[in-house]
Amino acid sequence: MKVQSAEEGRIAIVTRGHDCGTWCVVYRVVDERYVLLSDGNLRSIQKPKKKQLKHLTLLPISIPVRGKGMSGGPIQDSDIRKALKEAKDAYLNRCNGILTEKEECALVQK
C-alpha cells in the first residue's frame, strides 16, 4: 500500500473506522505514520483525533490551520467547519457527484 505524505492543512477523508466517510483536516503531523485530525465538530482543535495515514485519503486541497481566522483571532473550529464545507462542496461539484460519500467509503473498504 502506498503511504501518502501529509502536511498541516491538507483535507482528508477517513476510509477506515467508525468515522468512515468523515471529511477532516490534518491539524498536526505526529510522525511518518500518524496525524492529528480535526473536523470542527466532534473533533475540535483542542481534542483532535489521532489517525494512521493508511486509513485516510488525502485530497489535493489545503486550508489554513495556523494564523488568523475569519474573526481576526486564532483559527477556531468554526473556521475549520466553514472551510471544510466549502472545500467539500467545490470538490463534489468538480467530480459531478459521481460517488456519494457512503459509496466512496464502501468502495475503499471492499
CATH code where residue 83 lies:
2.30.30.30
Residue 67 forms part of a structural domain:
yes
CA–CA distance, 87 with 55 (Å, rounded to integer): 20
Kindly list the strands in the beta sheet with 23-29, ordered across the sheet, starting from the edge strand earlier in the chain: 49-52, 34-38, 23-29, 10-14, 56-62
Residue 46 forms part of a structural domain:
yes
State the residue range of the domain holding 45. Answer: 10-102
Residue 30 forms part of a structural domain:
yes
- CA distances to 71, 72, 75, 85 from 24, rounded to whole Å, are 21, 22, 15, 10
Confidence check: pLDDT of 100 > 80: no
Confidence check: pLDDT of 42 > 70: yes
Confidence check: pLDDT of 95 > 50: yes
Residue 22 — very low, low, confident or very high, per pLDDT cuts 50/70/90? Answer: very high
Confidence check: pLDDT of 77 > 70: yes
| Predicted structure pTM score | 0.77
Q: Considering the chain, what percentage of its residues have pLDDT values greater than 90?
A: 42
CA–CA distance, 29 with 99 (Å, rounded to integer): 29
Residue 93 forms part of a structural domain:
yes
Domain count, the chain: 1
Residue 107 forms part of a structural domain:
no
Q: For all residues of the chain together, what is the average pLDDT?
A: 82
